[in-house]
Structure 1
Amino acid sequence: MLRLFAALVLLTSGCSVNQPTATSAQALARVEQLIHETADILTPKPRLESVPSFEVPSTCWDEDKSQDQIIVSRAYWLRDVPKSENMSISQQVRAHWEAAGHRIVASGRAGNPDLSGESQPDGFTLTLTWAEGDNLYLGAASPCVWPDGHPSE
């Protein structure tokens, strides 16, 4: 796992448009790792329920990258957590991300549990999002990657 992570860091950091990247499978493994490591530290322990709309790769948003690159993401509803615990969950997530060396880039206004972060050193997007009905979901998304790790010829 450490070897995969090291390769992923090297391949996703500082790449120009035609340089190799992590593959979509490597990016997915890192996304899942980030989400599950975070969920595993939460109390009360949530039951993760996949958000299907995040299961399809999306086109790279970075205008400096090729439109043939993709972003791999996943998100999970945090089920079986009392709504009264939403702020506590947010505080736990923040503490975990900071302890792991990730960077917090945004947080919700007072009383709002939303958090956004960036994994370090590989630049994956991290999110804890409050949604209608006082529900939370935890997600992660890769930087832009080539599906097979290298540009098509």
Structure 2
Amino acid sequence: MEATMNQGKAEERVEELITEATAVLPDSLELESLGGITANPCDDLANGGAEGPVSVGRTYWLDGLPVEENEADVELLLEFWTDNGYRVTDDRRPEQLSVFVEDEEDSFRMSVQSSVQGDLSISASSPCVWPEGTPEA
């Protein structure tokens, strides 16, 4: 059971990743929080099945972007991600406007998805981290 970044650092990293990725989108973009930061328990057997580690996540609606530009905006995000060390884990286009990626260096994951109404959202999540950075004794 190895030390990880703590939950606070993971929360900062998730926000940083979203800020970096959305910087490639048009200036009309407004981020609207979708539920705030989450911390979901991990059932990570690599940590011996111990209780305590969490995966931190955050989702935003991408408001202020014309729906007719959704495919181009998703392509801008995908280009940013592939140029910056992410690998595509799932690309559901053209059936669904959804792309999922993982940072090859730190295993943080990101996605962009379209709702049935055509609204785009962006999400980022951390790998499993210990709330205090180390397993509890």
Give TM-score, length-normalised by structure 1: 0.82
Q: Measure, in 1, the Cα distance between the counterparts of 2:16 and 2:104.
A: 13
Question: Would you tell me which structure has more strand in proportion to its own residues?
Answer: 2
Deviations 1:7-51 (A, max 9, x none): xxxxxxxxxxx2110000111111111111011111254100011
Moved more, 63-72 or 139-148: 63-72
Partner of 1:114: 98
Residue ranges of structure 2 left out of the alignment (5+ in a row): none
Partner of 1:82: 66
Partner of 1:11: none
Deviations 1:54-107 (A, max 9, x none): 522111143433331001110110001111111011100110001111111111
Partner of 2:14: 31
Residue ranges of structure 1 left out of the alignment (5+ in a row): 1-17
RMSD: 1.4
Q: Measure, in 2, the Cα distance between the counterparts of 1:61 and 1:109.
A: 30
Question: Residue 43 of structure 1 is aligned with which of 20, 26, 47?
Answer: 26
Q: Measure, in 2, the Cα distance between the counterparts of 1:35 and 1:141.
A: 10
Give TM-score, length-normalised by structure 2: 0.91
Q: Given residue 56 of structure 1, which amino acid in structure 2 is its aligned partner?
A: T
Q: Measure, in 2, the Cα distance between the counterparts of 1:144 and 1:40.
A: 26
Number of equivalences: 135
Aligned-pair CA distance for 1:120: 2.4
